[in-house]
Structure 1
Amino acid sequence: MKKLINDASAVVREMLEGIARQAPHVAILGNENVLVRQALPEPSKRSVALISGGGSGHEPAHGRYVGSGMLSAAVCGEVFTSPSTDAVHAAIHATAGDNGALLIVKNYTGDRLNFGLAAEMARSEGIPVEIVTVADDVSLRGRIERHQRRGIAGTVFVHKIAGAAAAQGRLLNEVAAIARRTAENLGTMGVALDGCTLPGAEKAGFHLADDEIELGLGIHGEKGVERTAPMKANELTETLLANIIEDLALKSGERVALLVNGLGATPEMELAVVLRDAFESLKRRNISVERAWAGTFLSALNMPGCSISVLRLDDEMLALLDADTEARAWPGGGAVNHHILIEPAGTAPASEIGAAAMDDNGRAWSGKIKPALEAVAHALIDKEAILTELDSKAGDGDLGASMKRAAEAILAVPPTALVAPDKALAALGMALRRAIAGSSGPFYATALVRAARILADHPHPTALDWAAAMRGAADAIGELGGAKPGDRTMLDALVPAVDAFERELKSGYDASKAWAGAVSAAESSAEATAHMTPRAGRASYLGARAIGSPDGGAVAIACWLKALQPYIAAS
């Protein structure tokens, strides 16, 4: 398995050195893999020390939570392995003053044993030490007692709240009490989309097929409690939240903090979608989300997936969550925006695009154009996966999604916008301009606007008028993008189709047969792009490496031209 490491046996130490270089308030404690706050006051003036840790591989936990207002020290074991008793003991000696230390321990056997023994050693030396164990994994409810559950991402909430309490100068028993209350009002549940791979390992600890996900996983690459079929984000979010809410017995009217945590290989895009769905689910239950965060807070190396943590709040916890900290990984903020939508000034709603009064002539045109456009839309939706695959080989892979959005925009164009050919094309151009980002939107919108202008003086266009509009559309695309036939772009299907349509019409064929020739030319020309070296667009960056598969934009042209074929009348 490819990794950016030097030596698997030295990866933790080298990681800590890299972390410390970025944080002037942090230092490594001698030969121990422990990160501690620098420049602590003399022992008699120190606030309660907060110490946490565990196996490495959960970054940014725990090292990046070291700083005033959060942890005094993070004790880092080898990857997914509890740190030694001596390392924990050294961290206590380095950071605890007269007010003692609170150890925050995730509920794993190795962590409990080593942190517990270190605490006993420190107490025997006269250092006051309390331990708070976090067991927030609700996936194990009904199987084992709460105190036996695993500690996972919700632990970060305990770090933040207890750290802020310690920074206020509260006594050890008070800091421990608020930490325990936080842990008792906390629930977390996660899902893995695949396994993770340890440094030096050849493969992941477990692998999930494309039709599998793992619910209720831990954070050490271990399997979850249930393997099931993939779900949409909102369904999965609801599954996780329902377990958490039931376990915490949350009621309507209560207040919570929400944490959506990535497990190491989940894009921020997906985490934001989950947060959105979680917020809506809690809102439907009349549970008020006072603070919310989405990001990677406690990972499992490179595992794809996420967890959701919900913390029942009171005023004291909320104030401590809001308190400042210098810990680099805590994002701060968390305030919830309850008004996320405003209407852009001077923009008509999409439903009003091209709307016009319908007379008999308008109804006739709308009746012809609407089913043809629906056929185009459904053809593009059916082609999404193929277009995505083709574009991924030579571009950024967004063409399938763009064409699907185009299809959805086409389906949403109201019949009242289709009362004449030029008006229909103009409305389509506006709809696609709004629906498609990237390059496809401007190209199609420009083409349609040019074609609409050409047909503006032809209320009842002939087949040759339509051919002239198509030629104008192709010219507009070339002028806008600077491409020409032979450059391996959408024009390599569109221009041959226009040429064939015009040629067949001028040879005496009716529109239906001429269109069939245009479709054939587009399909064969699109296939021929597989042997072209791209000279325009993003694919041109690949040069000869793009050869071997046809251009996605050209294939899309052939797709919608073919979809229109049954709707082209003979005359």
Structure 2
Amino acid sequence: MAKFMMNSKEDLVADALDGIIYANPWRNLVRLDVDPWIRIVMRNDWHKQQVALISGGGSGHEPAHVGFIGKGMLTAAVCGELFASPSVEAVYNAIVNVTGDAGCLLIVKNYTGDRLNFGLAAEKARKAGFNVNMVIVGDDVALPENPQPRGVAGTLLVHKIAGYVAERGDDLAAVTEAAEAANRALSTMGVAMSGCHMPGEEAKERVPEGSVEMGLGIHGEPGVEVIKMQSSQQIAQQLLESVLDSRNSQQPYALLINNLGGMSALEMNLITRDVVASPLSQHVQYVIGPAAMMTALDMKGYSVTALALTPLFEEAICAPVEVTGWSRAVKPEALKPQKAEKQASDITTTPSDNPAVARIVKAICETLIANENDLNKLDAQVGDGDTGSTFASGARQILKECQEKSLPFNSLPDLFAVTGERLANVMGGSSGVLMAIFFTAAGQKLTEKAPLAAALQQGLEKMMQYGGAQPGDRTLIDALQPAIETLLNGGDLAAAAEAARKGSEATATMSKAKAGRSSYLNSDNLKGIEDPGSVAIARVFAALKDLG
């Protein structure tokens, strides 16, 4: 079954319409209470003083069509079941309830069910004395030989242009003419990596893995071809070639970039960049989107609609509206990054020699490198298996500089500062940043002439402040804190090593980790296993104890 959030399939559309009305910031929508199975949403500020615009069709394309009801666009929308045209009776009731002396224009996507049901409703309304016209939108260019091109996202631009003309008070003939002209000026092409999935039905995938389908319909109808996955730029280029008229290179355009429902915001922003930056877009005057405007449930794909601009169309797409689904038309401009001089954070120090300090640094590094595999194996049981490699990568860098005699061994404040910077650059992940904070803060304390133990305590406090972990949270702090506390109280390295060992062993009895990857595991997974970070600290102190 396709994954879908709902109460019941029967109530899905009605419940969703209520949600749209609840969240509408304009507070200008209302449902017509005609019959439970007739779903009509209309403007609540409508007084029949202008030409009424009615659209609609099957649901599942949200925010179309209800999201485009409001001042400057639609007067009402008639909503069918998922991907199913509303009934003749539903459309007829919409016409009767919103149409005044100025008449009504039905804007219909070119699908058989919509044409028939809206068409028959129009005939019934005319017979009842209403002045009704109908425009059938067919903007899809995926199948150029098809005598009945599908109506897809370009329908929204017909809504916008007709709505603008109606809002300024033009008569039904002028509104109809503007809608028909817009329809002739539209071209839409879509692409998808997967089809759409109907709620309550078995999920079937038609697009093969590693492929995309060009020209899918907004109900999941087959496209024109399935091709191997290409770069986003290449796909955008193909869509633009389909919708832009290469024979008239001076024609200005507006482009509507439409999310078909399943694309992430990150992907849609990338696509917008690729579309706008394409050489084919040099005469694009406006971009509308990227936004989910005419969707196909959860289809992972997008469409591009080109509107050949005229002065009227330009005025219309830029006019303000009071609807939730419309995305403001924007003039794209060349990117102009602001120049700034890179601020180097590298610390400049002078190498100096101190054999005793160098011996300690070398012992720490060699210990971490030698324990890489053990720590990785331990971490694989409670984390992502890279603690040993993370510590070893930092240790190798410091050991390399130690062997090259490029470190300031005779100045502990400088040595700690350099170490902090190196670890931030080479260790990666949160461990690298935490150790960098520890050494940087400790080095800063040493510049204040503080004793080494006090400096280490300062580093620990800053690590806990920024990292969020405390003693007992099953992290390396459980070994580091008692070791530093022992040194602060006058203990020697042997006593500190013993405190670190006990602290590390205690983590095996802690039933819940409160930081790091282990925090996602339950107590059964952690039972009897020492935290790998605390083990690393304990082994470092053990190595320092052995130096004598």
When normalised by structure 1's length, the TM-score is: 0.66
Alignment check: 8 A CA contact 1:265 1:305 kept = yes
Distance 1:301 1:359, change over 3 A: same
- Greater gyration radius: 2
Residue 511 (structure 2) pairs with residue 535 (structure 1): no
CA gap of 1:187–1:359, structure 2 versus 1, over 3 A, is farther
Mapped pair 1:249 → 2:249: no
Shift of 1:78: 1.0
How far is 1:321 from its partner?
1.3
Which of 284, 292, 296 is the equivalent residue of 1:296? 292
Residues 512 and 526 in structure 2, CA contact (< 8 A), matched pair in contact too: no
Other-structure match for 1:30:
34
Distance 1:180 1:294 in 2: 25
Change (3 A) 1:114 1:545: farther
* CA offset digits 1:107-126 (Å, max 9, x no partner): 21211222222223333444
Counterpart for residue 15 of structure 1: 16
**Counterpart pick for 2:272 among 260, 270, 275:** 275
Candidates 434, 440, 450, aligned match of 1:449:
440
Q: How does 1:373-392 map to 2 (within 5 A)?
A: none
Aligned to 1:264: 261
Select the residue among 128, 137, 141 that pairs with 2:140: 137
Question: Quick one: which amino acid aligns to residue 33 of structure 1?
Answer: R
CA contact (8 A) 1:138 1:243 kept: no
Measured in 2, the distance between the counterparts of 1:253 and 1:359 equals 63
User: For residue 225 of structure 1, what is the amino acid of its counterpart?
Assistant: V
| CA positional deviation for 1:216 | 1.9
Q: Which string of whole-angstrom CA distances, capped at 9 and with x for unpartnered residues, describes residues 475-527 of structure 1? A: 864564253687455779999xxxxxxxxxx99xxxxxxxxxxxxx9xxx9xx
Is 2:319 the counterpart of 1:323? yes
Check the 8 A contact 2:417/2:440 in 1, yes or no. no
Instruction: State the alpha-carbon separation in 2 of the partners of residues 529 and 217 from structure 1.
Output: 56
* Counterpart Cα distance in 1 of 2:479 and 2:256: 49
Deviation at 1:172, TM superposition (A): 1.9
In 2, Cα distance between the equivalents of 1:172 and 1:151?
A: 22
Maintained 8 Å contact 1:104/1:131: yes
Give 1:543 deviation, angstroms. 5.9
Are the structure 2 counterparts of residues 168 and 33 from structure 1 closer, same or farther at C-alpha, using a change threshold of 3 Å?
same
Match of 1:6 in 2: 7
- The alpha carbon displacement at 1:57 in A equals 0.8
**Cα offset, 1:53, TM superposition:** 0.9
Task: After TM superposition, give the deviation of residue 224 of structure 1 in Å.
Answer: 3.1
Distance in 1, matches of 2:383 and 2:87, equals 52
Amino acid at match of 2:181: R
- Alpha-carbon distance change, 228 to 333 in structure 1, aligned in 2, over 3 angstroms: closer
- Which segment drifts farther, 248-257 or 58-67? 248-257
Question: Could you tell me which amino acid in structure 2 is paired with residue 111 of structure 1?
Answer: D
Structure 2 CA distance for partners of 1:443 and 1:327, relative to 1, 3 Å = same
Whichever residue aligns with residue 3 of structure 1, its letter is F
- Tell me how far 1:222 sits from its aligned partner: 3.1
> Does residue 194 of structure 1 match 2:191?
no
**How far off its partner does 1:266 sit?**
2.5
CA distance in 1, matches of 2:243, 2:302: 19
Q: 1:108-507 to 2 correspondence within 5 Å? A: 108-141=111-144, 144-145=145-146, 147-201=147-201, 203-206=202-205, 208=207, 210-231=209-230, 235-250=231-246, 252=249, 254-281=251-278, 285-332=281-328, 334=330, 336=332, 338=334, 341-342=337-338, 349-350=341-342, 352-354=344-346, 425=419, 428=422, 442-443=433-434, 445-447=436-438, 449=440, 477-478=463-464, 480-483=466-469, 487-489=473-475
Contact 2:243 2:306 in 1 (8 A): no
Deviations 1:334-382 (Å, cap 9, x if unpaired)? 4546556435xxxx744845397x9999xxxxxxxxxxxxxx9xxxxxx
Any conservation in 1 of the 2:197–2:204 contact (CA below 8 Å)? yes
On the 8 A contact 2:161/2:316 being kept in 1, the answer is yes
1:219-271 CA-partner distances (Å, limit 9, x unpaired): 1133433333434xxx3354244333344315555433232222223332322
Contact 1:492/1:529 (<8 A) preserved:
no
- Render the CA deviation track for 1:87-145: whole Å, top value 9, x for unaligned: 2222222222222222211121211222222223333444333322222223223xx24
C-alpha contact (below 8 Å) 2:64/2:293 kept by paired residues: yes
* Contact 2:106–2:133 (8 Å) recurs in 1: yes
Q: 1:97 matched to which residue of 2?
A: 100
User: Per the alignment, in what secondary structure is the counterpart of residue 197 of structure 1?
Assistant: coil
Equivalent pairs: percent with the same residue?
Answer: 35
Structure 1 residues 246 and 300: alpha-carbon distance in aligned structure 2, compared to 1, 3 A threshold: closer
1:277-331, Cα deviation, whole Å (9 max, x unpaired): 222125x752334233122112112233322223232332122112222222224
Aligned match of 2:362: none
**AA of the residue aligned to 2:19:** G
The 1:432/1:7 distance shift into structure 2, 3 A limit, reads: same
Letter in 1 for 2:121: A
Deviation of 1:81 (Å): 0.7
Q: How many residues align?
A: 471
Supply the distance in 1 between the matched residues of 2:268 and 2:31 (Cα, whole angstroms).
Answer: 32
- 1-structure distance, mates of 2:225, 2:58: 24
In 1, distance between residues paired with 2:323 and 2:300?
A: 25
Name the residue aligned to 2:87: 84
Q: Which runs of 5+ in 2 are unaligned?
A: 353-368, 370-375, 398-405, 409-414, 482-492, 495-500, 537-548
1:55 CA drift (Å) = 0.5
Q: Matches of 1:419 and 1:212 in 2, distance apart?
A: 53
When you count helix as a share of all residues, which structure comes out higher? 1
| Secondary structure at the counterpart of residue 139 of structure 1 | coil
Q: Is the 8 A contact 1:252 1:286 kept in 2?
A: no
**Could you report, residue by residue, the CA deviation over 1:45-82 in whole angstroms, capped at 9, with x for unpaired residues?**
x2111111111111111112111211111111111011
- Structure 1: give runs of 5+ residues left out of the alignment: 362-375, 377-382, 394-398, 411-417, 457-464, 496-505, 508-520, 559-571
Q: Secondary structure at the match of 2:316?
A: helix
Counterpart amino acid of 2:255? L
3-state SS of paired residue (1:272): helix
Mapped partners of 1:130, 1:273: distance in 2: 40
Over aligned residue pairs, what C-alpha RMSD do you find?
Answer: 5.1
Taking the aligned partners of 2:162 and 2:127, their CA distance within structure 1 comes to 24
